[in-house]
Chains A and B, each alone.
Chain A
Amino acid sequence: MILLLVTIPLLAAFAILFGAPSRLTAILSALMTLVLAIVAAIAFGSAESASAFAEGQWEFKQLAIQASNFSINLHFGLTGISTIMMLLTAIVTLAAVLSGKAPEGHKNLWYSASLFIAAGAMGAFISKDLFFFYAFHELALIPTFLMIGMLGRGDRKHIAWKATIYLAAGSIVLLAGLVWLASIAGTYEISQLKSGVAAYYASNNSASACVLCGITGMLIFGYGTLVSLFPFHSWAAPAYASAPAPVAMLHAGVLKKFGLYGLIITAVNVIPHAVLEKWVLLLVVLLLCNIIWVGLVTINQKRIDLMLGNSSVMHMGYIFLAIAAVMAFPENDIAIPAAVLLMFAHGISIAMSFSLTDVIERNAETLEFNQLGGIAKTAPKLCFLFGLVGMASIGLPGLANFAGEVMVFFSGFNGWDSSKPFGPVQWGTVIALWGVVISAVYMLRAIKNTFHGELIESAREMKDISLMEQIPALLLGGVLLVVGVYPNILLQFLN
């Protein structure tokens, strides 16, 4: 059963390449994957224990490579975190294939590329083996670059190239780190990394601490580049602005979370606290740069798409903050759920933003703030939906992002001894909170400049969002609302 989560989109993508009706196949396969993902999540949530769950049809293991001292398996299965990431992938995939308008003559490429990205992301999230975890992510990146390079907007070749260089460099560093990690742990099974590393750490304390410290650094910078951690963030905003809507949605919404997910399951959960602790201060400084520095960059944007792209980079800082909180204080039981919840919420909200931005661009024929204005008059539904997701992304209660953010802030203060001064994570949380003001500034300005004020002349005849275009936005908006009102619906998987 679990194999289907990957094979359905993969087979559909190939079918489209070989001439199946592209849109229909894509939508159907995405729908099937979503239903399957929901069934899997329910099964996982209601299973009495992890082993009882795995004994059902939700675990797949097949030996791929057998070497003298270890083996690599094609091993799929679910954990609490990966269940949530699986749901995120399935939901955003469906919304992505419903969004945007494929240019004539490129429909096959458009839909199959989207499905390849989705299959890659899904494979990465449900892999329990380090090798395939990495390989599936690589698989998803290739169509991403192809789509930006061939069907993107603006200076697409240059932008695609820049993203490739950054991400390839990040991936290589990451790969080296992961291989090193696997070799000292003696296994590629992600669930066994921890005990392997612990044994290594215990056996040879002074040198092993150094080695592990180096590996942690490689993982932070490798994953960090994939998640646009400052200062390796310059690729992200132009890539999202240029990418076709489904690709921007899938990459910003889903694929980028791979780095954070990986950092949690292969570093934070694996490497001993004494080693992780050494990286806290640097990570806090970098994530604050994401929030404050990139936040200021976002304020200065002149286009909606670049504004959203930068805001997405900025919001990664909050998830890193939760990760820093657990690195500094290992008993922090709020931090990882907070990070996962915010990853999910951000993924849904940024996908919805890019889906709607695409509608604005098609209907108003521009995304420049100074050429827009007052279009709430002619497009009230679009205004409502964009307002909803704008409010979600700046952390309005009742929508999912708030629940994630507020938990991140609590995780930052978890473990603070009130008789002592603030540590780096508490200071980081306080400064990060200022980012909440910054994000309100750029989002409300964008809403004011786009929708409020007098109606601009050129938009007098502008269409409102059509029913078909509303479907992905309503799907994603509904998820934001449900998770925002009742976050336990996801948090139950993490308890």
Chain B
Amino acid sequence: MELAWFLFILPLASAIAIHFVLKKRPCLSGAVGTVVTLAALVVAFFIRGAQSELGFNWISLGNFEVNIGFVIDKLSSNMMLIVTGIGSLVHIFSLAYMKEDKAKARYFGNLSLFMFSMTGIVLSSNLVMTFIFWELVGLSSYLLIGHWYEKHSAGDAAKKAFLTNRIGDFGFMIGILMLWSITGTVNFSELAANPPAATCALSIAVFMIFLGAMGKSAQAPLHVWLPDAMEGPTPVSALIHAATMVAAGVYMMARVFLVIGTDVISTLGSVEAIAWIGGITSLLAALMATQQNDIKKILAYSTLSQLGYMVMAVGLVNPDAGMFHLYTHAWFKALLFLGSGAIIYACHHDQNIWNMGGLLKRMPITSLTFIFGTLALTAVPFTAGFYSKESILHAAKDQGSYLLWVALGVAALTTFYMFRLIFVAILGKAKHKHSEDAKEVSMLMLAPLVILVIVSALSPFFSDFVPLPELKEIDFHVVPHFGDKLVLFSIGAFVLGFIPALLLYAGKTKDPLNIPLFRNKFYIDEIFGHIIKWGQDILAAVVHFLDEFVINGLLVGGVTRSAQGLGNLFRSKIQTGNIQTYAFMFGIGIAITIYITVFA
């Protein structure tokens, strides 16, 4: 048996064991989940360079076959390292963070379920298998967001995440069906061997598949679930809603582009729409982030914005740039989220940045790692984010797209809102009793943070570990290219964001800016609320009414009522109750049958 199967078996066995055997043993559950994830990380190292396998037949009917197998190449095996690497650190962090939670076993069981499902997406050998695990990832995300289900907000957020993703999957399935009709296969290897010609149908199919990515990677307008998903425990936000699952859309598109080939893809009209959706998401999310007060929400909007970058790169037919950014972002965003988790834990689960402050003194290691993560996110030269963002800017420039200017604007905004966060929450004076009481967290939480700092700092320099489809050359040596004008622009964007943040927020105790449009997220949730209310709930009530009174009552009911009249006649004639009448009716039915068959 190929080693890669263990990547599936280990977390699945852990999920089953925890849910069905260890439910009463929370500490053991945590240990099992963590050890298994570490083991998966080791396996993930060893499968690099192994052979792909078609696996076993899940459905086979004549010439229609769906397999459960795996593809191992640079893209998938390195993606697996990200998933298991961050997964391991998040497990370790969770051991401390969820120590006192009553449903710790359920938490670790669902985390293992997530690891299993995510493995399936990454290693998938065909689109149907991707879809299967795509949905399972959605389930684990639903379960983990709703971990504290007694809170109405958590239950609602979980439901919203699942349903928004379902809307994306509606398109994804149509896309898979169309691509299957066009090419006659869903297997990646067969698609790569016989790539389809660029037609209008293919263009629509690719866009429909992208709808799936829009749901999972939270692209506007399907982004609304991700900020709400912060209702889940913070380590979950780090693993699922920042580093891995939300990046699955980008990963999946990179896989599709890889098998269809960039020469076909770049002639399709729909890819430009993909790029613009990414760009617009990136800009909207950055604007929203500038006015949020919840530390996790700020990071969530920043994730949206960075995902927008990645999708933009994919749409610019440079999935390598997108995947490079996915890779660096995964590490430093996991760092930021786990850091925010440590801060929230220390501040008695207060998430409002205006109740924080003065944390650099009280929890120096956490604060320094958080600042390091911020530098990477704001793309300070020589940090990981700098290199990967540069590659995205190049992608935009190569296409001569206006998106370059959008991307630069977003870069300035990113610096602005992240340093707003730093100035308000980390630096300055403590603004509330919660932050005055804050103490440095335990080793079990600090260790993952420190490891993430190291990995993140080194990440761009080990190009062998970057999950690249290798469709375009990525220049890993941007370092000395300061002659390149783009680098100067990007440094200019940093300065443009940093100075207003410094001037407006250093030492402030309340927000000097108030922009309701950004604070209220462009009212998109409200608009959706109205659409759901009128387009679904009121429509459903009207349809229900029509169904009850028009179809049941008048149209079909009229016919049956006349039959009922006849039945009443029978009943009154024979002087029996209802039951016998039914039997009688059927007796007649059978009698007629016999009569017709014998005498006709």
Task: Tell me the smallest distance from the CB of A155 to a CB of chain B, in Å.
Answer: 12
A131 touches B598 (CB 8 A): no
B174 touches A67 (CB 8 A): no
In this assembly, does A454 line the interface, its C-beta being within 8 Å of a C-beta of chain B? yes
Q: Considering the chains assembled together, what is the distance between the CA atoms of A433 and B432 in angstroms? A: 51
CB-CB under 8 A from A183, the residues of chain B are: 600
CB-CB under 8 A from B6, the residues of chain A are: none
A142 touches B583 (CB 8 A): yes
New A-B pairs, 19, CB < 8 Å, besides A418-B201, A444-B163: A138-B586, A141-B586, A161-B578, A161-B582, A164-B582, A166-B556, A168-B586, A175-B589, A175-B593, A179-B593, A188-B597, A296-B539, A299-B536, A397-B135, A413-B177, A419-B201, A430-B174, A445-B159, A487-B59
B597 touches A65 (CB 8 A): yes
Residue on A nearest B545 in the bound complex, by CB: A300
Task: Tell me the smallest distance from the CB of A165 to a CB of chain B, in Å.
Answer: 4
Q: Is the interface of B mostly helix, strand, loop or mixed?
A: helix
In this assembly, does A111 line the interface, its C-beta being within 8 Å of a C-beta of chain B? no
Contact among B60, B139, B539 for A391, CB-based, below 8 A: B139
B149 touches A161 (CB 8 A): no
Which B residues from 108 to 160 make CB contacts under 8 A with A? 128, 131-133, 135-136, 139, 146, 149-150, 152, 154-156, 159
Task: Tell me the smallest distance from the CB of A57 to a CB of chain B, in Å.
Answer: 29
In this assembly, does B9 line the interface, its C-beta being within 8 Å of a C-beta of chain A? no
A161 touches B564 (CB 8 A): yes
Which of B182, B537, B544, B563 has most A Cβ within 10 Å? B544
Q: Considering the chains assembled together, what is the distance between the CA atoms of A166 and B133 in angstroms? A: 42
Contact among B63, B170, B598 for A436, CB-based, below 8 A: B170
Q: Considering the chains assembled together, what is the distance between the CA atoms of A166 and B556 in angstroms? A: 9
A495 touches B61 (CB 8 A): yes
Chain B residues within CB distance 8 Å of chain A: 57-64, 128, 131-133, 135-136, 139, 146, 149-150, 152, 154-156, 159, 162-163, 166-167, 169-170, 173-174, 177-178, 180-182, 199, 201-202, 536-537, 539-541, 543-544, 547-548, 551-552, 555-557, 559-560, 563-564, 567, 578-579, 582-583, 585-586, 589-590, 592-593, 596-598, 600
Task: Tell me the smallest distance from the CB of B384 to a CB of chain A, in Å.
Answer: 35
Q: Considering the chains assembled together, what is the distance between the CA atoms of A352 and B593 in angstroms? A: 35
Task: Tell me the smallest distance from the CB of A290 to a CB of chain B, in Å.
Answer: 11
Which 3 A-B residue pairs are closest in the complex by CB-CB distance? A234-B552, A452-B155, A397-B132
Q: Considering the chains assembled together, what is the distance between the CA atoms of A403 and B58 in angstroms? A: 9
In this assembly, does A320 line the interface, its C-beta being within 8 Å of a C-beta of chain B? no
Q: Considering the chains assembled together, what is the distance between the CA atoms of A487 and B139 in angstroms? A: 21
Which of A165, A334, A395 has most B Cβ within 10 Å? A165
A234 touches B557 (CB 8 A): yes
A150 touches B162 (CB 8 A): no
Contact with B along A130-169 (1 / 0, CB 8 A): 0100110010011001100110000001001110111011
In this assembly, does A412 line the interface, its C-beta being within 8 Å of a C-beta of chain B? yes
List 19 A–B pairs whose Cβ atoms lie within 8 Å, in order of A's numbering.
A65-B598, A135-B593, A138-B590, A146-B579, A146-B583, A149-B578, A150-B579, A160-B578, A164-B582, A168-B589, A169-B563, A179-B593, A333-B62, A440-B162, A440-B166, A452-B149, A452-B155, A453-B149, A488-B57
Which A residues from 285 to 308 make CB contacts under 8 A with B? 293-294, 296-297, 299-301
A441 touches B536 (CB 8 A): yes
A413 touches B586 (CB 8 A): no
Residue on B nearest A439 in the bound complex, by CB: B166
B579 touches A429 (CB 8 A): no
CB-CB under 8 A from B146, the residues of chain A are: 452
Q: Considering the chains assembled together, what is the distance between the CA atoms of A72 and B135 in angstroms? A: 50
CB-CB under 8 A from A418, the residues of chain B are: 178, 181-182, 199, 201-202
In this assembly, does A448 line the interface, its C-beta being within 8 Å of a C-beta of chain B? yes
B133 touches A397 (CB 8 A): yes
Task: Tell me the smallest distance from the CB of A44 to a CB of chain B, in Å.
Answer: 17
CB-CB under 8 A from A403, the residues of chain B are: 58-59
B177 touches A72 (CB 8 A): no
Contact among A72, A297, A491 for B61, CB-based, below 8 A: A491
Q: A232-B556, A440-B162 are in contact. Are A294 and B547 (CB under 8 A)?
A: yes
CB-CB under 8 A from B162, the residues of chain A are: 440, 444
Residue on B nearest A417 in the bound complex, by CB: B181
B59 touches A488 (CB 8 A): yes
Task: Tell me the smallest distance from the CB of A487 to a CB of chain B, in Å.
Answer: 5
CB-CB under 8 A from A301, the residues of chain B are: 544
CB-CB under 8 A from A412, the residues of chain B are: 177
Q: Considering the chains assembled together, what is the distance between the CA atoms of A474 and B202 in angstroms? A: 44
Q: Considering the chains assembled together, what is the distance between the CA atoms of A444 and B63 in angstroms? A: 36
Q: Considering the chains assembled together, what is the distance between the CA atoms of A412 and B178 in angstroms? A: 11
Contact with B along A381-407 (1 / 0, CB 8 A): 000000000010001111000110011
Contact among A231, A398, A437 for B167, CB-based, below 8 A: A437
Which of A161, A179, A455 has most B Cβ within 10 Å? A161
Task: Tell me the smallest distance from the CB of A132 to a CB of chain B, in Å.
Answer: 10
In this assembly, does A355 line the interface, its C-beta being within 8 Å of a C-beta of chain B? no
Task: Tell me the smallest distance from the CB of A476 to a CB of chain B, in Å.
Answer: 17
Q: Considering the chains assembled together, what is the distance between the CA atoms of A448 and B154 in angstroms? A: 10
Task: Tell me the smallest distance from the CB of B210 to a CB of chain A, in Å.
Answer: 16
Task: Tell me the smallest distance from the CB of A66 to a CB of chain B, in Å.
Answer: 10
Residue on B nearest A163 in the bound complex, by CB: B582
In this assembly, does A171 line the interface, its C-beta being within 8 Å of a C-beta of chain B? yes
Residue on A nearest B57 in the bound complex, by CB: A488
Residue on B nearest A376 in the bound complex, by CB: B149
In this assembly, does A463 line the interface, its C-beta being within 8 Å of a C-beta of chain B? no
Q: A183-B600, A491-B60, A495-B61 are in contact. Are A374 and B199 (CB under 8 A)?
A: no
A409 touches B163 (CB 8 A): no
CB-CB under 8 A from A430, the residues of chain B are: 174
Which of B201, B537, B597 has most A Cβ within 10 Å? B597
B544 touches A398 (CB 8 A): no
CB-CB under 8 A from A376, the residues of chain B are: 149
Q: Considering the chains assembled together, what is the distance between the CA atoms of A96 and B396 in angstroms? A: 63
In this assembly, does A309 line the interface, its C-beta being within 8 Å of a C-beta of chain B? no
CB-CB under 8 A from A65, the residues of chain B are: 597-598
CB-CB under 8 A from B163, the residues of chain A are: 437, 440-441, 444
Task: Tell me the smallest distance from the CB of B360 to a CB of chain A, in Å.
Answer: 39
Q: A134-B593, A157-B578, A334-B64 are in contact. Are A296 and B174 (CB under 8 A)?
A: no
B150 touches A454 (CB 8 A): yes
In this assembly, does A172 line the interface, its C-beta being within 8 Å of a C-beta of chain B? yes
Q: A333-B61, A418-B178 are in contact. Are A396 and B560 (CB under 8 A)?
A: no
In this assembly, does A107 line the interface, its C-beta being within 8 Å of a C-beta of chain B? no
CB-CB under 8 A from A169, the residues of chain B are: 559-560, 563
Residue on B nearest A131 in the bound complex, by CB: B597
B136 touches A67 (CB 8 A): no
